[in-house]
Amino acid sequence: MRSMAGGLLGGLLGGMLFRSLGFAGFGGMGGGFGLMDLVILGGIGLAIYWVVKQRSRPALIEAPYQHQRTWSAEREPERYQGAAAGQATMVQEGDLDQGMAHIRQMDPGFETGRLREICTDLFFKVQAAWGNRDLEPIRTILTPEMHTQLGADVMRLRNERKINRLENIAVRSVELTEAWQEQGQDYVTVRFLANLLDYTVDEGTSQVVDGSRTDPVKFEEYWTVTRPVGPNPWRLAAINQADN
């Protein structure tokens, strides 16, 4: 749809320039730019800017994320799409500062240090709920879409009589990488660098069917949290692994 819109805008702009330069075809010679032409050109320019801006904005995609090679199909928590993979690493510092400034306009008490603490707590709560195959304790810190997706995978693990164990979690880094507002919502993406023991066992025999009890794995992920603008509670909206 955006490509079509860009094509139509380009066609309108080209046609106007064509006529204004005197190539009116069946209508005779053009009369140059007029005030109305300038107004229309200005509107087209704004429309093109909006299309380009929307295209560059990473959308929240409600689909399972492709795992890194170190993660099997059962690995926690199926790594859901948020902002485009790895894209948050390319966001300039000025963009992050600008996004934070917009958030503070509606929440003067907003603090990045406090948000890192909230996201770290959320991180550990999600890991624990996933390992227990019980999302009810974290329902209020997930968006409905995220709860539905995680719930589907928890049910799959139960049906397969498997348990994904997550142990000795060590978070090495928690970094805010992106912030923006969209449709009345605040969004912040947080980069987690961590390692842990991650393995899956058979529910009946406790035998390891995937992963290792002794060899830790390292991962880099981007967690996107959201809330209605203002001093409201944050919820997890997306999980995205970094590009290899």
Distance, in Å, from the CA atom of 152 to the CA atom of 166, rounded to the nearest integer, reads: 19
Half-sphere exposure of 161 (CA within 13 A, CB side): 6
Q: Is the pLDDT of residue 108 over 70?
A: yes
Tell me the sheet residues that pair with 181: 186
- Confidence at residue 32, expressed as pLDDT on a 0 to 100 scale: 54
Q: Average pLDDT of 63-84?
A: 35
- Confidence at residue 79, expressed as pLDDT on a 0 to 100 scale: 40
Q: What is the DSSP string of 146-207?
A: HHHHHHHHHHHHHHTTEEEEEEEEEEEEEEEEEEEEETTEEEEEEEEEEEEEEEEEETTT--
- Confidence at residue 64, expressed as pLDDT on a 0 to 100 scale: 36
- Mind listing the pLDDT tens digit for each residue in 113-156? 999 999 999 999 999 999 999 999 999 999 999 999 999 999 99
- Confidence at residue 48, expressed as pLDDT on a 0 to 100 scale: 64
- Mind listing the pLDDT tens digit for each residue in 197-241? 999 999 999 999 999 999 999 999 999 999 999 999 999 999 998
- Confidence at residue 76, expressed as pLDDT on a 0 to 100 scale: 38
Share in percent of the chain as helix, strand, coil (round to 5)? 45, 25, 30
Q: Is the pLDDT of residue 190 over 70?
A: yes
Q: To the nearest whole percent, how much of the chain has pLDDT over 70?
A: 61
Distance, in Å, from the CA atom of 188 to the CA atom of 236, rounded to the nearest integer, reads: 10
- Mind listing the pLDDT tens digit for each residue in 154-179? 999 999 999 999 999 999 999 999 99
Owner of token pair 């660098």? 193
Q: Where are the domains of the chain?
A: 2-56, 87-241
**For 87-241, CATH number?**
3.10.450.240
- Confidence at residue 33, expressed as pLDDT on a 0 to 100 scale: 53
Q: Is the pLDDT of residue 185 over 90?
A: yes
Letter string b/e over residues 129-146, b meaning 16 or more CB atoms within 10 A of that residue's CB: bbbeeebeebeebbbeeb
Q: Average pLDDT of 32-60?
A: 59
| Cβ–Cβ < 8 Å for 70, 243 | no
Residue of 67 and 147 predicted with greater confidence = 147
Half-sphere exposure of 173 (CA within 13 A, CB side): 10
